[in-house]
Amino acid sequence: MSLGKVAHYSFDLVLISIILAGIHRNTGLVFDTSNLSSVDVRRWFGNYLAFGERCYDSSVSLLKMSGYFRQKNLVVDYVSKEANKYLKEQTGRDLKDTTKDK
């Protein structure tokens, strides 16, 4: 097996562990290692999943610091949109019109 294939498979394994960490963080679903037969395999797979969690955390912190990404709050954005729509229906003006500096 060539070095290129080993690097490719290693990268794929890291991506899979990061995806599993993202699923864990966003949904709370965790891969159940109790179904694995050997204690050594369970321990290895637990370390593999922990590595994915660390990679996920590092990726998220790097993206936050980059300045190219911003965090959206879906609830606040929805409430603001609905409030602006209600204000426009009631007064005929946008929320931006009422908060302009004079």
Q: Are 77 and 51 within one domain?
A: no
Per-residue confidence band for 31, with pLDDT thresholds at 50, 70 and 90? confident
Number of domains forming the structure of the chain: 2
- The answer on pLDDT for 16 being more than 90 is yes
Q: Are 50 and 4 within one domain?
A: yes
| Structural domain for 5, as ranges | 1-70
How confident is the prediction for the chain on average, in pLDDT?
Answer: 88
Interval 44-83: pLDDT, tens: 999 999 999 999 999 999 999 998 988 888 888 888 888 8
Sequence-distant (6+) residues with CB within 8 A of 53 are 21, 24
- What pLDDT, on a 0 to 100 scale, did the predictor assign at position 99? 64
CB atoms within 10 A of CB 55: 15
Count of alpha carbons within 13 Å of 1, Cβ hemisphere only?
A: 6
pTM, two decimals, is 0.67
In angstroms, the Cα distances linking 6 to 10, 17, 49 are 6, 17, 20
Q: Are 83 and 52 within one domain?
A: no
